[in-house]
């Protein structure tokens, strides 16, 4: 159980976190719809992976909103811990799904030589995400320095993944548009796995604990 001063600080941080997650949900709803639509139209695995990641980040932000609301309204520590456990497990599952999606779609694209088309809409939404996501991740990290939440750490990993995929999308789609390097789309997505797998393993270990 947290001492009273720590509980007060945690409640304030949780309320700030609730506001951040509301912004995250709203942004991800727009980003996911635009990226998925552009990715399907352009037959771009990287863009659809970016859109799929946005949907996962939306779900992650939604369950984090629930977890932070529990602490923000001053529920008993036992209720906070129960919610933390549930949300940490959900976040770990979402990260696993993202890893599997990126691996399967990228490998299939390379093996089948599926050549994506360029997408100006995809480039615009990726550019905006590349600006917005690091700002959101930094704010979430500041909040988690107070809360020390494994669930929020997994959500931060999702946000950073979104920023990485935005950069990879800009690079992959841009190279495809300029030089017709269709394979750059897939390699940029696969490169993400080196970092994402480590974050997923950490989330799974936290869920088990």
- Count Cβ atoms below 10 Å from residue 10 Cβ, excluding itself: 23
Q: Is the pLDDT of residue 139 over 90?
A: yes
> Residues 67-107: pLDDT tens digits?
888 877 776 777 777 877 887 788 788 888 888 888 887 88
d(CA 20, CA 5): 23
pLDDT of the residue at 40: 85
The DSSP result for 47-86, as a single string, is HHHHHHHHHHHHHHHHHHHHHHHHHHTT--HHHHHHHHHH
> Residues 13-60: pLDDT tens digits?
888 989 999 999 999 999 999 989 988 887 777 778 788 878 888 888
The DSSP result for 114-148, as a single string, is --PPP-HHHHHHHHHHHHHHHHHHHHHHHHHHHH-
pLDDT band at residue 118 using 50, 70 and 90 as cut-offs: low
Query: Which one of 1.10.20, 1.20.1440, 1.20.1510, 1.10.260 gives the CATH number of domain 4-208?
Result: 1.20.1510
Q: Is the pLDDT of residue 1 over 50?
A: no
> Residues 145-178: pLDDT tens digits?
988 888 888 888 888 888 887 887 787 777 777 8
pLDDT band at residue 7 using 50, 70 and 90 as cut-offs: low
Q: Where are the domains of the chain?
A: 4-208
HSE-CB of 71 using CA atoms within 13 angstroms: 32
């Amino acid at each position: 159980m947290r001492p009273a001063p720590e509980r007060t600080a945690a409640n304030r941080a949780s309320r700030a976190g609730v506001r951040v997650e509301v912004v995250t949900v709203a942004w991800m709803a727009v980003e996911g719809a635009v990226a998925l639509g552009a990715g399907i139209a352009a037959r771009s695995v990287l863009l659809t992976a970016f859109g799929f990641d946005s949907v996962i980040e939306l779900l992650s932000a939604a369950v984090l909103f629930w977890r932070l609301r529990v602490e923000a309204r001053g529920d008993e520590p036992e209720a906070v811990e129960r919610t933390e456990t549930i949300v940490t497990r959900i976040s770990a599952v979402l990260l696993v799904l993202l890893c599997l999606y990126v691996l399967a779609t990228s490998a299939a694209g390379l093996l089948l030589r599926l050549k994506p088309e360029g997408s100006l809409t995809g480039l615009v939404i990726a550019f905006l995400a590349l600006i917005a996501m690091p700002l959101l991740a930094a704010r979430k990290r500041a909040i988690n320095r107070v809360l020390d939440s494994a669930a929020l750490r997994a959500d931060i990993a999702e946000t950073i993944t979104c920023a990485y995929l935005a950069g990879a999308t800009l690079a992959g789609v841009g190279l495809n548009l300029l030089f017709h390097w269709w394979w750059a789309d897939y390699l940029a997505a696969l490169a993400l796995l080196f970092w994402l797998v480590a974050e997923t393993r950490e989330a799974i270990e936290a869920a088990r604990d």
